[in-house]
Structure 1
């Protein structure tokens, strides 16, 4: 049996596809098949893939554009590997990605999926983005809508998908990976390697940019459904407060501001509720919720807003110093880049 099937969907990806394929072929772990599924491209994607002579590449040409979910499910249905790894046509694998992921999964049998942290990049900058490492951290992040597993970094035991009939679901369009992690998490542990082993290309043609409002709306629905599944006694008002605390959307503010008092009150009752029910690791949940509080100061407008940002940052710094410093550095990079773009437009 082939060790890994790499599923790489491609639609009009001529600008990136060779770079992505080369990064897979250059892996230090070599026992894999690269399943490139050309989703009805009208550019040179097909011919560029056909130019490769590596026997590990399997090119499948869909007769017309069927969309990402159908392509991914078809890829799962014809995969031959013990593990399934995801890859996007515009991203770049670092050479040791597969070696390190398969080593972890082979040595830790109770884990069924392994992702990695990432290195964001575009034409002007790059930055490291840390993902939660342990199963406890990932589960808290899943339910409270924070970074959990980055889709193009994941490697999954294929038997878990087959034995439990797990597939990407069309009713969760634009958030199909998010609901998939919930389905997988019912059957074993999840993990992220701390190291950034994928260069993640940030650009305006990404699904997360083009369909951002739709993605956020379906994510709110998922959060409500999943929180309700573990805490069915919560009121609608309490669920609304969880959404305000956790599912931030850029450029969209609530009709009435989520006050600092309400932020603190919401965090406290969530922690108290979890202390009584014990569903999440209390320590992992506490760190995550205070990170969410820090994020609130960047999405909601408060009186003395910059002072509030500093206050929330110091609060989070006292709870998780290392990540707090990493996050503030990354946010500062983003803000500086935005100002540079403004200046360039004005000039």
Structure 2
């Protein structure tokens, strides 16, 4: 039986699927593995391209219709035979040392349910970009962040298969089922990230549309809702939408007005007080994180002067120095190390 099962869901990714598969088959220093390519009703040449790969480690699970990525991932987990299961998206590329590093970590740390990694970006042709997404390394900060964002990039994740089987993806979530999964896992188990670039994410036009952003907000607000319920804090639909804004000022070029700052200060103070009662998120990491979101809202305010005054005068800011150190120390730049990327498709 294989030690590691790698799950790649695919839906109409004929341009990229062969490169994703090749990056797994080229992994170095790993024990036995199987690769499950889970078709989700593709109508292009994706299935034929996988069928043409002559490697006994590749298993193709076909579907007659599209059931959604959460359903495809659940199918892959149910069919997996390894002690560990790892995910990769069908347009991404795993660096050669990815599985070996993560397998070694989970073998050394039996208390951890899963481990992710940092992620780089490639363009549509497979050329490296300078962009890097750094995730927090340690379990306590990952757990503290789960009310705002996923602590693990799903395409970098490796987990104990029995844990994934106990935490199936919510198939009613059209998008965000991975965020929901890792929020639930991080609530109950230790998870970590390796401070190494182990996966490259492909950037292409289909990923960034106004429709996708609107849909992402709608489903993320559902995930916020169950966490806020567990925190025993009253919340409205407007609160959840405004909460979503807190994590997007850098991405969206958003500039909050004075009324939003009033709401944000009150909301973040309420979150801090609620957590002191309910103890859902680890402290002091959670309060430090709230200070960072407050500082971001103030710095990006329509009136920078007004925002900085609000920042200086708020009790939320008392945790800001520790919050800045916490954020930097978990995401500080890596020492340089040379890796070889598998050949990209043109």
TM-score between the two structures when normalised by the length of structure 1: 0.79
Deviation of 1:176 after TM superposition, in Å, equals 0.9
Match of 1:159 among 159, 162, 167: 162
Partner of 1:87: 88
- Aligned with 1:130 (options 131, 134, 146): 134
| Structure having greater relative contact order (Cα 8 Å, sep ≥ 6) | 2
Residues 71-113 of structure 1 show CA distances to partners (whole Å, capped at 9, x for unaligned) of 1121122111111110111111111111111111111111111
Deviation at 1:264, TM superposition (A): 4.0
What SS does the aligned partner of 1:112 have?
Answer: strand
State the distance in 2 between where 1:171 and 1:49 align.
28
CA distance in 2 between partners of 1:156 and 1:288 (Å): 26
Cα distance in 2 between the residues matched to 1:237 and 1:77: 35
Cα deviation 1:272-317 (Å, max 9, x = unaligned): 443454432223113322332344357x6421379859x799x957
1:146 aligned partner: 149
What's 1:335 paired with? none
SS of 1:59's equivalent in the other structure is: strand
Could you tell which deviates more after superposition, 237-246 or 58-67? 237-246
Contact 1:245–1:263, Cα closer than 8 Å, also in 2: no
Q: Tell me the distance in 2 between the aligned counterparts of 1:297 and 1:16.
A: 41
The 1:79/1:325 distance shift into structure 2, 3 A limit, reads closer
Q: Distance in 2 between matches of 1:266 and 1:139?
A: 20
User: Which of 314, 320, 324 is the matching residue for 2:324?
Assistant: 320
Q: Matches of 1:85 and 1:129 in 2, distance apart? A: 19
CA shift, 1:158, in A, is: 1.1
Pair 320,252 (structure 1): closer, same or farther in 2 beyond 3 Å: closer
Q: Give the drift of 1:17.
A: 1.2
Question: What is the aligned residue count?
Answer: 322
Q: Which residue of 2 aligns with 1:303?
A: 303
Q: 1:68: Cα distance to partner? A: 1.5
Q: Distance in 2 between matches of 1:241 and 1:21?
A: 38
Q: How does 1:190-339 map to 2 (within 5 A)?
A: 190-206=191-207, 211-229=212-230, 231-234=231-234, 243=243, 246=246, 248=248, 257-260=258-261, 262-296=263-297, 301-304=301-304, 308=308, 319-321=323-325, 323=327
**Cα distance change of structure 1 residues 278 and 184 upon mapping to structure 2, 3 Å threshold:** closer
The 3 A distance-change label for structure 1 pair 256 and 201 is same
Tell me which residue corresponds to 1:21: 21
Aligned CA RMSD, in angstroms, stands at: 3.6
235 and 18 in structure 1: CA distance in 2 versus 1, 3 angstrom threshold:
closer
CA, structure 1 residues 210+153, in 2 after alignment: closer, same or farther (shift >3 Å)?
Answer: farther
Contact 1:274–1:280 (8 Å) recurs in 2: yes
Is 2:75 aligned against 1:62? no
Unpaired segments ≥5 residues, structure 1: 330-347
Runs (4+) of structure 1 moved beyond 6 Å?
Answer: 252-256
SS in 1 for 2:146: helix
Distance 1:209 1:56, change over 3 A: farther
Contact 1:208/1:215 (<8 A) preserved: no
- Structure 1 residues 208, 85: closer, same or farther in 2, change over 3 A? farther
Q: Distance in 2 between the 1:93 and 1:147 partners?
A: 20
The answer to whether the Cα contact below 8 Å between 2:221 and 2:240 also exists between their aligned partners in 1 is: no
What is the distance in 2 between the residues matched to 1:255 and 1:317?
23
